Amino acid sequence: MSPASGGTWISANPGVASVTNSGLVTAISSGTTRFIFSHTSTGCFSDSSALLTVSPSPEIILAGPSQICVEQTTQLNPISGGTWVSLQPSIASVSNTGLVTGISAGIVGFRYIQNSTGCEATLPNVLTVLPKPVIEVREFRPSASGKYKSFAFNWRNMGLCKSSHRGGK
């Protein structure tokens, strides 16, 4: 707000917004307020400023699971009335309806911008995307009778490593 010097700014409702003597306004809670300026050398007060309305931050939540695998989905709320943004788009994408899809392994957060007010809210590091298991199939030699072959299955990226052997025709 202007002027930025020569006096003191006063908020009519400091519980809603504060103002420094240099005119910097900080929102504190939802509500309305006005500001006046007191000139130091004259002691005169300005007319009050236009009404300032401080809107509340939107309430946002992760409504689905907090861990998904690559290519799986989960849901953020609200599902309408704003724009969702992934803070790490290489890890997970998010639609404007809040549907999240895992892209690669990692931890991701999201920001929501409410259309009606422009207010934002952030869920930092709220979702873990796990890698898809990697399965390796290796063929072994035929059995002594020559009728059956043995296969080995190995899978990784599940927090553990297991192997399974199974014979087949």
Phi-psi region of 110 (alpha: psi -120 to 50; beta: other; left: phi over 0): beta
Residue-range domain boundaries for the chain = 7-54, 61-130, 134-168
Tokens (6 digits) for 156: 């990784």
Split at pLDDT 50, 70, 90, the class of 1 is: confident
User: 29: burial class by Cβ within 10 Å (0-12, 13-18, 19+)?
Assistant: exposed
pTM of the model: 0.67
At residue 105, the 3 state secondary structure works out as: coil
pLDDT digits (tens, 9 = 90+) for 20-39: 999 999 999 999 999 999 99
DSSP 8-state symbol, 13: -
Return the CATH class of domain 61-130.
mainly beta
Q: What is the pLDDT of residues 36-92, one digit of tens each?
A: 999 999 999 999 999 999 999 899 999 999 999 999 999 999 999 999 999 999 999
